[in-house]
Structure 1
Amino acid sequence: MKIAIMGAGAVGCFFGAVLAEAGHDVTLIGRPALVAAVRDGGLVHERGHERRHIRVKADTRPEAVAGAELVLFCVKSFDTEAAAAAIAPYVAAECSVCSLQNGIDNTDRLARALGRPAVPVAVYAALETPAAGYVRHKGGGKMVIGPSPRSGEFAQLFAAAGLSARISEDIQGTLWTKLAVNCALNALSALTVLPYGRLIGHEGVDALILGILAECRAVAEASGITLAPTLEDTVFGLGTSMSEQYSSTAQDLARGRRTEIDDLNGAVMRRAAELGLAAPLNQTLWTLVKLREASAMPLAR
């Protein structure tokens, strides 16, 4: 299958590597540094103790999606509308677009900007990008696909590439659950500069995590979403299963980049306000990360 990946960061490069190794025609669309690295030495995919150099196409231009049968949309949440508008003229009529993004409303925003439906996909993988064109897989690799006429085909495609893929009719519940997990860990990992294994279990942290999750659960339920009773166990389990993983928010701050905090704790904070609920812990984490973002900027003159 001819597949274009719009926004080739850690998630995009991981899927690009896995699908290219499975024999698909993959084009990565990303920053100039990524394109140069991939053209010079291939896409580096580190998994376990093995490092592979994979030949894939790479481009900076949105028109590189032309002719693709499937677009995996992996841009940061705050770039959703702009990136979608950029590719919209070049997406073929028979092409499907899947959102592999964080957050709970990116698929709707993507669909509005494209003027066509998009398929939500929740991704669970521990990834990092040590350098441009280099993705390190540290664990996980599961995905949950929302319903669409082609979702069964996509699930088979991903499964054939060695990924765990299933279809869920309750994709909103899945996206909210992932949001809650991110709200509990991303900002704390970023602010403390600690991986999950050294964060969870530290004095006072577990009680704080439970409080954050309680706010997320209350806001979700008021929004008509029921989160799994195993949510808390899932979060604490990451201290073991992904003990060395730093959150994507931590990785963004370390690189001086804008984070997705507005679509994580910020989303819970905003929804709570709309519903007349309080979410002080999520609001505090959102505020602190926004201050960290601001502190990384040059002094105002």
Structure 2
Amino acid sequence: MTLRIAMVGAGGVGGMCAGHMVRNGENVTFIDPWPDHVDKMNKTGLELRGVTEAEAYNVKVKAIHITEVQNTLKEGPFDIAFISTKSYDTIWATSLISPYLSELGFVVSLQNGLNEERVASVVGPERTLGCIASGIGVELEEPAHIQRNVPIRGNTYPVFRVGELHGRITKRAEQVAQLMSYTDGSKVTDNLWGERWSKLCINSSHNGLAACTGLNGNGMAINEDARDAQIKICGETSRIAEALGYVLENRKSTEPQQWIAAAAGDKKALQEVEDFLIEETKSRGEGQRPSMGQDMAKGRKTEIGEMNGYVCEKAADVGLAAPYNAKMVDLVRRCERGALKPTPSNVVDY
């Protein structure tokens, strides 16, 4: 029997993943709050683009406005609902789709940040899974047009990591990993929380930085001040995660302890992670911008509270300070209010 799948939030990540599911024969309903995006997807299809011509597709999809969700009852309940909204929209998005789940239906958080507990507060932990997207590099550039700015990794790197809250390997987690593999490499993890914090180490050091400097992914690695800020924030977040008891995953060829040591001033570790950041620019398109950089450029609310702000909150739980994360929260908030203009000079002497 064909699964009925809902993608709540069909922006860059959600739209890209749902589009590839449809390309592979899955029955997916796109649910999105941006009317122009929904209307154009229905009219002309969803345009998916990558770094090569072979990654260009036009996909005919079924998209509905959030006001039309009740009409889906005619086709039956959803077996899987992905939430791919901003973190601050998690509760209402989960509440929107929860009445339309099948008896064994469940919800997957396909988001930045740690939102599984928010999802579980609505549908219960037994109906909640998480999926981390690491290094996907996508942007909804205009209605019905999604651009990916990094190469497909395939079997060389698991871009998607799917896990249960309890850490067991289940058939439904494997099922979700299969769905994600239509877009890029995927795996099932028994370390969802460690994976989430590992991604938060990256998000906390990249997203806010892009928002308050105006730099893209490569620019943040090349600019010395921005690179210094990245390393300090990543090391601080890694140290806090370990203090909380999470087992962090390696960041490709680098280990958590390297970032912690680099942030503390260890010269050897600092050189290693700087070399890593520069090397990463060779496989990243110039159009790649972290999501908060996209939000700031478009005048939207950012997820700074759910990323760097969250790190500060959790640090306080174990009696630690998080000055680098706190400074980033302040910078981004000021940029959001218009009190500060995004520029690399904001992170001089970070």
Normalising to structure 2: TM-score of the pair?
A: 0.79
Which residue of 2 is the match for residue 145 of structure 1? Answer: 162
Residue 190 of structure 1 aligns with an amino acid whose one-letter code is A
CA distance in structure 2 between the aligned counterparts of 1:140 and 1:257, rounded to whole angstroms? 27
Which residue of 2 is the match for residue 155 of structure 1? Answer: 177
Question: Is residue 17–residue 180 contact of structure 2 (8 Å, CA) maintained in 1?
Answer: no
Question: Is residue 103–residue 264 contact of structure 1 (8 Å, CA) maintained in 2?
Answer: yes
Secondary structure of 2:99 counterpart: helix
Residue 240 of structure 1 aligns with an amino acid whose one-letter code is K
Does residue 132 of the first structure (1) align with residue 126 of the second (2)? no
Residue 82 of structure 2 aligns with an amino acid whose one-letter code is L
Which residue of 2 is the match for residue 56 of structure 1? Answer: 61
Which residue of 2 is the match for residue 120 of structure 1? Answer: 130
CA positional deviation for 1:282: 0.6
Secondary structure of 1:204 counterpart: helix
Question: Is residue 133–residue 160 contact of structure 2 (8 Å, CA) maintained in 1?
Answer: yes
CA distance in structure 2 between the aligned counterparts of 1:182 and 1:68, rounded to whole angstroms? 31
Larger Rg: 2
Which residue of 1 is the match for residue 217 of structure 2? Answer: 196
Secondary structure of 2:107 counterpart: strand
Q: Deviations over 1:213-245 (max 9, x none)?
A: 221022111110132352445766543332521
Which residue of 2 is the match for residue 299 of structure 1? Answer: none
CA distance in structure 2 between the aligned counterparts of 1:203 and 1:56, rounded to whole angstroms? 44
Question: Is residue 236–residue 322 contact of structure 2 (8 Å, CA) maintained in 1?
Answer: yes
**Does 180-189 or 86-95 show the bigger shift?**
86-95
Q: Deviations over 1:121-173 (max 9, x none)?
A: 101200011101111112256100103441122223333x2521101101111
Secondary structure of 2:127 counterpart: coil
Structure 1 residues 157-236: aligned runs within 5 Å: 157-159=179-181, 161-227=182-248, 228=250, 230-231=255-256, 232=259, 233=273
Residue 260 of structure 1 aligns with an amino acid whose one-letter code is E
Which residue of 2 is the match for residue 273 of structure 1? Answer: 316
CA RMSD of aligned residues (A): 2.0
Secondary structure of 2:222 counterpart: coil
Which residue of 1 is the match for residue 298 of structure 2? Answer: 255
Does residue 46 of the first structure (1) align with residue 53 of the second (2)? no
Does residue 108 of the first structure (1) align with residue 117 of the second (2)? yes
Q: 1:121 to 1:114 in 2, by over 3 A?
A: same
Count the aligned residue pairs: 294
Structure 1 unaligned residues grouped into runs of 5+: 297-301
CA positional deviation for 1:19: 0.6
Secondary structure of 2:202 counterpart: helix
Work out which of the residue numbers 282, 285, 290 in structure 2 matches 1:240: 282
CA distance in structure 1 between the aligned counterparts of 2:38 and 2:222, rounded to whole angstroms? 41
Query: After TM superposition, which residue ranges in structure 1, 4 or more long, deviate above 6 angstroms?
Result: none
CA distance in structure 1 between the aligned counterparts of 2:151 and 2:128, rounded to whole angstroms? 24
CA positional deviation for 1:117: 2.3
- Identity among equivalent positions (%) equals 30
Residue 215 of structure 2 aligns with an amino acid whose one-letter code is L
Secondary structure of 2:228 counterpart: helix
Question: Is residue 80–residue 101 contact of structure 2 (8 Å, CA) maintained in 1?
Answer: no
CA distance in structure 2 between the aligned counterparts of 1:203 and 1:166, rounded to whole angstroms? 35
Q: 1:162 to 1:11 in 2, by over 3 A?
A: closer
CA distance in structure 2 between the aligned counterparts of 1:70 and 1:202, rounded to whole angstroms? 42
